[in-house]
Amino acid sequence: MVASNRTPGGGAPKSLLHAMTLGFETEFWNDGCESETLARAIEHGATGATSNPVLVLEAIEANPERWREETRRLLREHPTETEEGIAWRLVEVVATAAAKQLLPLFESSGGARGRLSLQVGPRIYPDAKAMVAQAMHFSTLAPNMAVKLPAVAGGLEAIEELTANGVYVNATVSFTVPQAVAVAEAMERGIERAKRAGRDTSKLTPWVTVMVGRLDDHLRDEAKARGIDIDPEVVRQASTAVFRRTHKLFRERGYRAKALAAAMRSHHHWSDFIGGDVVVTIPPSWQEKFNASGVEVVARMENEVDPKVVQALRDTFPDFVRAFEPDGMAPGEFVGFGAAKKTLHQFINGYEKLLAFVRNEMLPLAPKGKE
């Protein structure tokens, strides 16, 4: 099965994920920026990587001594900097190291692949101007940097502005078709503004993330809270239906943006999307699971979710209707969607843990008994 996915000059695939990248347009990115796991992912066909406050913290925790020493260096060089200032300097060091690992792919592909997505601060999600300012700075850190912004009202404004300035953007905190469509349209407006300003947009490819597993999580939580008895397999297919509809609409409407699936919960969040011109961003632990799964690497993106399943989801979950219909929500409602609130809390909590890591180097506690 894997051998059938070989392409001329591509060589024999090293794994199921590698086979997918050789045989189809579907890309996979490493969901994380830790150096060793990123290197393994690139070896198996990864064409990009992503990060967020939680993932940056994971990279630091994977090699704490290295990053403690880096934090101390930053503190020596910037003795009057605040803990937030040091934290962001540390984030930039982590991100640029990952971008450097991807740079050979970026250069060999003429800039088509090999980007590292770095997320703006999770606390500033309501402030478009603050997000634009931070994102513009991030875009200068490496030639292959992309910037992640939340698919909420302020984020849409920032995404258009950044795209108009030629910045590669990846939307995040996105779970639904209406969010994906609103982001893609903001990107189209930005591209048109860039063209009018005389910018070359021929290679500009933005991404719109759909955090598929977090949508399923939200519906499971809702079912539990409401005491609903529903087949877990039906709930599991909600995200497949939403992502496939997103991909279909993007093609029909000619959006430049590419849909990106994130937040894995089962092999379906990879296997259901094989064959589409999409990206699947996969954490290292799930890469291992998928490669060991024995799942056949065949195109499934064009398969339809059973209409009976879609109807059951519609009948049971009002939030599925909001997530599935292109006009299911207005931009002002995006931040109040259950999965968005939960995800923003997690990103902010991850950021606060990063601040605590820096604080422990700035203000080390005295050993007990010596205060």
Confirm if 26 and 48 have CB atoms less than 8 A apart. Answer: no
Per the structure block, which two tokens stand in for 17? 């994920």
Per the structure block, which two tokens stand in for 210? 């759909």
Q: Is 100 a catalytic residue?
A: no
Q: 96: Cβ–Cβ under 8 A, 6 or more apart, which residues?
A: 141, 142
- The residue whose two tokens read 């994102």 is 135
Q: 210: Cβ–Cβ under 8 A, 6 or more apart, which residues?
A: 174, 175, 176, 179, 180, 239, 242, 243, 246, 259, 260, 261, 262
What Rg do the C-alpha atoms of the chain give, in angstroms?
21
CA distance to 74, 288, 369, per residue, from 365 (Å): 19, 39, 11
- The residue whose two tokens read 């060991």 is 292
The Cα diameter of the chain in Å comes to 69
What's the angle, vertex CA 170, arms to CA 331 and CA 53, rounded to 5?
95
**Of these residues, 129, 148, 248, 341, which one is catalytic?**
148
Write out the catalytic residue numbers: 148
